[in-house]
């Protein structure tokens, strides 16, 4: 009788944990769907040559399988951003022996600031979130003034150029917005003219001003 009671308690705990995971998902984000390690390994080999020089962010890292494959098989440094506390906790336990050790951040990925060493961003999201994620990556590319590779599993980004595709995985290159980058190049009056100092020596350009092409 006691054994039966213990089994029932364990079963109820599992049901409650699953309800918490999927309940939070319904309220705050995309559904949690696990990925296959073998398929991820093939994807990185065919779609993007991941290596030790890379720093990968998994936006919505779930159980940490993408981080495990990227770190364990390809030697990449990795970071997972996961909103659900149960999945964050379970992934930390799962990845604790992986080298290099992945980092897990329990946070909404749309509010997370990318480390400057980031090179690749991965997500397995749904159609309602993938555009928001792309916009977030664009924002971070503008902020850090660097480009990122973005891998979307399952859904295309409407209007964005696909660099490469393998199965259900789409690779994009997100560059800093040129219009925003050019603001830094404008003169103090906003005219686009950059003045040079007069050196007074032969061979220098004197006091001439340069106007950016296209102005």
Query: Which are the contacts of 45, defined by CB distance < 8 A and separation ≥ 6?
Result: none
What pLDDT score was predicted for residue 195?
38
What integer pLDDT is reported at residue 34 of this predicted model? 52
Q: Which pLDDT value is given to residue 201?
A: 41
Give 38 or 11, the one with higher predicted confidence. Answer: 38
Q: How confident is the model at residue 215 (pLDDT cuts 50, 70, 90)?
A: very low
Question: Is pLDDT above 90 for 212?
Answer: no
| Predicted local distance difference test score (pLDDT) of residue 6 | 53
78, pLDDT greater than 50: yes
Strands (E), 17-107: 55-59, 77-82, 103-106
Residues in the chain: 215
Q: Which residue has the higher pLDDT, 128 or 207?
A: 128
pLDDT at 4: 54
pTM: 0.70
The residue ranking higher by pLDDT, 187 or 123, is 123
pLDDT score for 127: 78
Instruction: Please state the rounded mean pLDDT for residues 203-213.
Output: 35
Predicted pLDDT of residue 149: 98
What are the pLDDT digits (tens) for 137-192?
999 999 999 999 999 999 999 999 999 999 999 999 999 985 554 444 444 444 44
Q: What is the predicted pLDDT for the residue at 125?
A: 84
Dihedral pair phi/psi, residue 185, rounded to 5°: -90, -10
136's CB contacts (< 8 A; 6+ apart) are 59, 109, 110
Q: Across all residues in the chain, what is the average pLDDT?
A: 77
Note the helical H segments in the chain: 2-28, 37-46, 65-74, 85-95, 127-144, 178-183
pLDDT-derived band at 74, boundaries 50, 70, 90: very high
Percent with pLDDT over 70 in the chain: 66
Domain covering 42-181: architecture: 3-Layer(aba) Sandwich (3.40)
**What are the domain boundaries of the chain?**
42-181
Range 114-135 average pLDDT: 93
193 DSSP assignment: E
pLDDT digits (tens, 9 = 90+) for 10-21: 544 444 544 444
What mean pLDDT is predicted for residues 32-60?
A: 88
């Amino acid at each position: 009788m006691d054994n039966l009671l213990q089994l029932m308690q364990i079963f109820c705990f599992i049901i409650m944990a699953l309800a918490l995971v999927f309940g939070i998902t319904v309220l705050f984000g995309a559904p949690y769907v696990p990925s296959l390690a073998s398929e991820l390994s093939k994807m990185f080999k065919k779609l993007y040559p991941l290596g030790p020089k890379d720093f990968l962010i998994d936006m919505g890292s779930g159980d940490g399988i993408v981080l495990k494959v990227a770190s364990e098989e390809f030697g990449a440094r990795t970071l997972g951003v996961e909103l659900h506390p149960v999945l964050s906790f379970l992934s930390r336990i799962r990845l604790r022996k992986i080298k290099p050790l992945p980092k897990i951040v329990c946070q909404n990925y749309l509010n997370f600031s990318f480390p400057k060493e980031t090179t690749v961003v991965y997500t397995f999201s749904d159609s309602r979130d993938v555009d928001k994620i792309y916009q977030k990556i664009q924002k971070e590319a503008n902020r850090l003034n660097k480009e990122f590779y973005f891998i979307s599993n399952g859904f295309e980004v409407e209007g964005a150029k696909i660099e490469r595709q393998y199965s259900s995985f789409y690779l994009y290159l997100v560059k800093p917005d040129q219009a925003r980058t050019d603001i830094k190049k404008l003169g103090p009056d906003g005219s686009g003219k950059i003045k040079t100092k007069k050196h007074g020596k032969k061979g220098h350009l004197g006091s001439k001003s340069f106007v950016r092409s296209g102005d």
